Structure 1
Amino acid sequence: YDALVQVAPSPVVALNRAVAVGMAEGPAAALRLVDDIAADPVLAQYHWLPSVRGDLLAKLGRVAEARAEFERAAGLTRNAQEKALLLARAGG
């Protein structure tokens, strides 16, 4: 993803890179990257942003914050199965 960010930079590529960083370096490192791009208007209605953020927060034990992010992601997706999964992850 480092190379892809150089060749075709975009907020979505940056989010995908953050997921990869999370797998390689842990959720705290990934969350810092996600938080750096969270205000980008391109991602404002992109349900994967709060979904990824919720997953990282859950891995860090920040349950209440994770729940809020999963609920926000569920509100953004139009896919019923994704919505159900996200609400389940939120605990509801």
Structure 2
Amino acid sequence: MIRNSGLLEFPARGNTMSWQGRRGKGKGAVTVRCCLDRALANEEWHTLFPCSYTEYLKMVGSDHRPVVAFLEDKFTRKRRGQFRFDKRWLAKRVLWSRL
């Protein structure tokens, strides 16, 4: 279904076995784990956010792990400080032109 719908899964971090349950009773009980919960998006979405990923957190109060999607684009923009002009640079320019 996922492939036929044109969806792709986000890269994952953490334990991807997102569900846990018990089968059987008594001494014969078995713990079952599987990857039920996923984050999916189409190819266009993955093109817009190529560095996105999901993180599977610890199970707390549920038999499912919380899944957090981090949406990051490929352009990490670093904010530059405000530019301030210093008049002393003009005096240094005159000195450099004389050398």
Relative to total residues, which structure has the larger strand share, 1 or 2? Answer: 2
TM-score by length of 1: 0.21
When Rg is computed on C-alpha atoms for both structures, the one with the higher figure is: 2
